[in-house]
Amino acid sequence: MAKIALITGASSGIGEACAHLFAQQGYHLILLGRREHLLEKIAHHLADKYAIEVKKIQADVRDKENINYVLETLPANWKNVDVLINNAGLSQGLDPIDKGNTDDWDTMIDTNIKGLLYVSKVVSSWMVAQKKGHIINIGSIAGKEVYANGNVYCATKHAVEALNQGMRIDLLPHGIKVTAIHPGMVETEFSIVRFKGDESRAKKVYDGFEPLLAQDIAEAIWFAVSRPAHVNINDMLIMPTAQATATTVKRD
């Protein structure tokens, strides 16, 4: 059987770009996300175009019981996951700590940290059993720096950075590779989600410079995954050329 990649947050942005690139490389795919109609469209297109098998999992990574259920009830041959891309994540709001919305904080913490952990626990146990695998954790420049009003989102991505290191240590005896990919600004649905559907505010984030494309990040992930067995990329920080730090951007 061809190799299998499980991608969380595969319905848009970086996850969708990874689905395309891994399909092109002949991987079978497990695509996880909440918006089933988007997963369906992507799965249908990729299965047709690349003659691969695609399983869709409509699920919310925050729902621990359901994540355990949908993953553990996969057919045995689909549990031979070679690559897990922990990509599902989001930011909600951009406010100082005294004005933050605590529901938004819960959503970010539950998705970016706890959701990533729920998926990783199940899939890493399969990888331990098969003594191989590669986990890619999508962090952020926000996991390397803290910027004004980024408080809780930055904290979740710093947590991803810590978990990435912890996973690498714990899974070392089992021959499992662990890599963090930390993007700077990528134009996806990220800012639309952060600003709760305010598309004009979201658009302004990328005004006057060329942001990264989701495809740029997918290619970096593929670079990490396609290294020889003795090479692991621990960590990659990838920025638009016009962005020097989280908030230092050269705009026209």
Q: Catalytic positions, please? A: 153
Q: Which is nearer to ligand 8X3, 63 or 189 (CB)?
A: 189
Q: How far is CA 125 from CA 118, 133, 171, 235, in A?
A: 11, 10, 10, 22
Rounded (5°) CA angle 107-211-223: 85
For residues 89 and 138, give the distance between their C-alpha atoms in angstroms, rounded to a whole number. 9
Mask of contacts with ligand NDP, 55-94, x by CB under 6 A?
-----xxx------------------------xxxx----
**Chosen from ligand 8X3, ligand NDP, none, partner binding at 88 (C-beta under 5 to 8 Å by type):** ligand NDP
Site for ligand NDP, residues 18 to 47, rule: CB under 6 A = 33-35
Closest separation in Å from C-beta 162 to ligand 8X3: 16
Check binding of 140 to ligand NDP (CB under 6 A). Answer: yes
Contact window for ligand NDP (CB under 6 A) among 163-171, 185-193, 224-232, 239-247: 185-193
Residues that bind ligand 8X3 (CB under 6 A): 91, 140-142, 185, 246
Looking at beta carbons only, is 142 or 167 nearer to ligand 8X3? 142
Contacts 24+ apart (CB under 8 A), 125-129: 126/79, 126/80, 126/81, 127/81, 127/84, 127/171, 127/174, 127/176, 128/171, 128/174, 128/176
Q: Rounded distance, CA 159 to CA 156, Å?
A: 5
Nearest residue to the partner ligand 8X3, using Cβ: 140
Handedness of CA 171, 120, 185, 57 (dihedral sign): positive
Q: Smallest gap, in angstroms, from Cβ of residue 28 to ligand 8X3?
A: 29
Q: Tokens in use for 214?
A: 């989701």
Q: Which does 115 bind (CB under 5 to 8 A by kind): ligand NDP, ligand 8X3, none?
A: ligand NDP
User: In what helix (H) or strand (E) does residue 153 lie, and over which residues does it extend?
Assistant: helix 151-171
CB of 248 to ligand 8X3, least distance (A): 11
